[in-house]
Chain A
Amino acid sequence: QQQVKQSPQSLIVQKGGISIINCAYENTAFDYFPWYQQFPGKGPALLIAIRPDVSEKKEGRFTISFNKSAKQFSLHIMDSQPGDSATYFCAASGKTSGSRLTFGEGTQLTVNP
């Protein structure tokens, strides 16, 4: 079954803190794992993505950690800022499924000033 489970559903962090969002997947055919950020009334915007041949990828304040054996991956937002307050979605896709994205349920992040 193609399913991606995301936690937590909501997260409150103080400014400057680290936000951590976790995802787990079931389909071993998935080979691409992006994270999207979505503000209310807007479409999802790609933040960062990883392939299973690396265990970590960092872009600015955003880091993806990937554990292939556990079929889990996570997003770390360092030095969280109030402007990071948004809903974050993990997703997964594989060439065998036409690269269509299967999304997690989303995490609503609030960063308090």
Chain B
Amino acid sequence: DTGVSQDPRHKITKRGQNVTFRCDPISEHNRLYWYRQTLGQGPEFLTYFQNEAQLEKSRLLSDRFSAERPKGSFSTLEIQRTEQGDSAMYLCASSPKRGGQETQYFGPGTRLLVL
């Protein structure tokens, strides 16, 4: 069990560019969550998957954001036409399929800076 991993750890981009982040959950965890955290705030829920199905999206997830989990394992979060307000830490978490469904284990995050 190597924990949740995220790539890249840091990303600097210019306004208007597209960026894509990857999350690899803990093996056999069937739920995968994306959160966004701005400086000095708690993480805010964006979306989550159960296996490959995207079950819920927050209203924070504008049309410029899209997430996928094609084979029910890793997930990607893409932001199109980035804006300076997208600058934040993007966190991924996963939770196990049996018992403790609510226990979410977080990755180290991807810090995005939009110039």
Binding site for B on A (CB under 8 A): 6, 32, 34, 36, 41-46, 49, 89, 91, 93, 98-106
Q: Name which of B35, B42, B44, B109 has the most chain A CB atoms within 10 A of its CB.
A: B42
Measured CB to CB, the closest approach of chain A to B106, in angstroms, equals: 4
Is the C-beta of B72 less than 8 angstroms from some C-beta in chain A? no
Q: Which of B13-21, B76-84, B96-104 contacts A (4 or more CB under 8 A)?
A: B96-104
Measured CB to CB, the closest approach of chain A to B17, in angstroms, equals: 23
- In chain B, residues 8-46, which have Cβ atoms closer than 8 Å to a Cβ of chain A? 31, 33, 35, 40-45
Is the C-beta of B105 less than 8 angstroms from some C-beta in chain A? yes
Indicate if the CB atoms of A89 and B42 lie closer than 8 Å.
Answer: yes
Is the C-beta of B74 less than 8 angstroms from some C-beta in chain A? no
Q: Which residues does chain B contribute within 8 Å of A45, judged by CB atoms?
A: 106
The closest CB in chain B to the CB of A42 belongs to: B108
Indicate if the CB atoms of B91 and A101 lie closer than 8 Å.
Answer: no
CA separation between A93 and B93, bound complex, in Å? Answer: 14
Is the C-beta of B95 less than 8 angstroms from some C-beta in chain A? yes
Indicate if the CB atoms of A43 and B107 lie closer than 8 Å.
Answer: yes
Indicate if the CB atoms of B102 and A106 lie closer than 8 Å.
Answer: no
Which residue in A32, A46, A99, A101 is a CB contact (below 8 Å) of B43?
A101
Indicate if the CB atoms of B45 and A101 lie closer than 8 Å.
Answer: yes
Q: Name which of A34, A43, A46 has the most chain B CB atoms within 10 A of its CB.
A: A43
Indicate if the CB atoms of A43 and B42 lie closer than 8 Å.
Answer: no
- In chain B, residues 38-94, which have Cβ atoms closer than 8 Å to a Cβ of chain A? 40-45, 48, 55-56, 91, 93
Q: From known contacts A43-B109, A98-B56, A100-B56, infer whether A91 and B42 are also in contact, taking CB-CB under 8 Å.
A: yes
CA separation between A98 and B31, bound complex, in Å? Answer: 10
Indicate if the CB atoms of B48 and A46 lie closer than 8 Å.
Answer: no
Q: Which residues does chain B contribute within 8 Å of A99, judged by CB atoms?
A: 31, 48, 95, 101-102, 104
Which residue in A32, A43, A98 is a CB contact (below 8 Å) of B48?
A98
Using A34-B103, A43-B6 as known contacts, list a sample of 8 further A-B pairs with CB atoms less than 8 Å apart, ordered by residue number in A: A36-B106, A41-B108, A43-B93, A43-B109, A91-B42, A98-B55, A100-B33, A105-B41
